[in-house]
Amino acid sequence: MMDFTIANILYLEEISGPVFDLEIDGTLISVPSSWNIMVTDDEECSIDTVPINICSRNDYNALLMSDTISKPAAAKIRVVDFHEHKTLVYPMLDKGCMLCTPIKKQVYKKNDAYFCAIIGPADVSSKYFNDSMVGDIFY
């Protein structure tokens, strides 16, 4: 299994094109329509990555992970807006990597813990998480 690593930001990339504005647990984020987001379902606790543009047609729960709390969370993904042309800047990602985007803060053992949604241009589920459950990577 791949671990979460904190890497130095060496370069910033800029993308112009179609963008979705998503609301996850009250937090608004803008994501290129060609990117993917890691999701889970309530019934089976399976993990998958789905294209952002699919989120506008179906109900999905974003998998929220924290580097401090070992128990994952989930939150509904709601598409708020679509922009045909918008420019976004984000850290350059290595091939096969995704970005942890902070969604909510929670106090854990007197410290702040941040839950993050996992987004990025790569579809990592077929390579790393094929037929995996949430418990396979957390417990």
- Distance CA(22)–CA(27), nearest Å, equals 8
Bridge-based pairing state of the strands 36-40 and 73-91: unpaired
Write down the pLDDT at residue 3: 57
Instruction: Indicate if the pLDDT at residue 84 is higher than 90.
Output: yes
Q: Which of helix, strand or coil describes residue 119?
A: strand
Residue with tokens 């543009």, as numbered in its chain: 53
Instruction: Indicate if the pLDDT at residue 110 is higher than 70.
Output: yes
The amino acid at residue 42 is: D
Pair 116, 57: CB distance under 8 Å = no
Write down the pLDDT at residue 1: 40
pLDDT digits 0-9 by tens, 3-22: 556 667 788 889 899 999 99
Instruction: Indicate if the pLDDT at residue 135 is higher than 60.
Output: no
The confidence band for 32, taking pLDDT boundaries of 50, 70 and 90, is very high
Domain edges within the chain: 13-127
- Distance CA(135)–CA(129), nearest Å, equals 12
Query: What predicted TM-score, i.e. pTM, was given to this entire model?
Result: 0.82
- Distance CA(88)–CA(67), nearest Å, equals 26
Question: ∠ CA(110), CA(115), CA(118), 5° rounding?
Answer: 160
The confidence band for 47, taking pLDDT boundaries of 50, 70 and 90, is confident
pLDDT digits 0-9 by tens, 60-74: 999 998 877 778 888
